[in-house]
Chains A and B, each alone.
Chain A
Amino acid sequence: SAVISQKPSRDICQRGTSLTIQCQVDSQVTMMFWYRQQPGQSLTLIATANQGSEATYESGFVIDKFPISRPNLTFSTLTVSNMSPEDSSIYLCSVAPRQGRRNTEAFFGQGTRLTVV
């Protein structure tokens, strides 16, 4: 099983500022995924981060608001830019086994609970 370290675990930020969330995996993975969970809601995929190429964003999410880096096969960052109270959510990174391995789990980081004031 992959171990994912995500930080910070929580933060309280002022509106208009930006926060970068880091996700470190203990093994090489091709794809990393970033999800948002708004209060009382389910998880929604923000984007897919593939090493060596630009992230692919889902409908409703744009790169200017949620820039993503993927410098290598074990690390990714998600930045929440120019934050507003509506960005208050839990943000989670996730990985899945690479092709050829039986996909029995999709692993998640511990999540970042963000509050924007």
Chain B
Amino acid sequence: AQKITQTQPGMFVQEKEAVTLDCTYDTSDQSYGLFWYKQPSSGEMIFLIYQGSYDEQNATEGRYSLNFQKARKSANLVISASQLGDSAMYFCAMSWPYSNNAGNMLTFGGGTRLMVKP
């Protein structure tokens, strides 16, 4: 069974500084994907970044980068130059193949609430 752990229930960061949100995972699968989502107070889930288990390079998307350390089973999200609009819940998730490989389900971590201070 897959398990995702986010050990930081809440974090503060000063505007314009960088912040790292931790995520560790546990799986016996060799093929999986790791996702980060942002959830503002509106409740929608906004996709931020994806890392495949076979990707050799760390994923980057604008101000977001994923620090993927496969041997340690960690997939930390780094947000550079924090903005006030970054204040939200952040979820790490792992995808694993459905039984007929026709789509992927997601297992979510408990989330981290990020608060950006002006």
Contacts and interface: CB of A to CB of B under 8 A. Distances in A.
B102 A45 contact: no
Interface stretch (B12-20, B64-72, B78-86, B108-116): B108-116
A106 B98 contact: no
Residue among B42, B45, B93 having the largest count of chain A Cβ atoms under 10 Å:
B45
Interface in A76-117: 90, 92, 94-99, 103-108, 110-111, 113
Interface residues of B, number: 25
B35 A111 contact: no
A90 B43 contact: yes
Nearest to B109: A42
A105 B108 contact: no
Given A30-B103, A48-B98, A96-B103, A43 B108 contact: yes
A37 B111 CA distance: 12
Contact of A29 (B52, B103, B110): B103
A113 B45 CA distance: 13
Interface string B87-115: 00001010100100111111111110000
A37 B110 CA distance: 11
Contact of A103 (B33, B43, B111): B33
Interface in A30-46: 30-31, 33, 35, 37, 41-45
Interface residues of A, number: 30
Interface in B8-53: 33, 35, 37, 42-45, 47, 50, 52
A103 B105 contact: no
Given A45-B106, A92-B45, A94-B106, A31 B98 contact: yes
Interface of B: 33, 35, 37, 42-45, 47, 50, 52, 91, 93, 95, 98, 101-111
Interface of A: 29-31, 33, 35, 37, 41-45, 48, 50, 90, 92, 94-99, 103-108, 110-111, 113
5 contacts: A33-B103, A43-B106, A43-B108, A97-B103, A108-B37
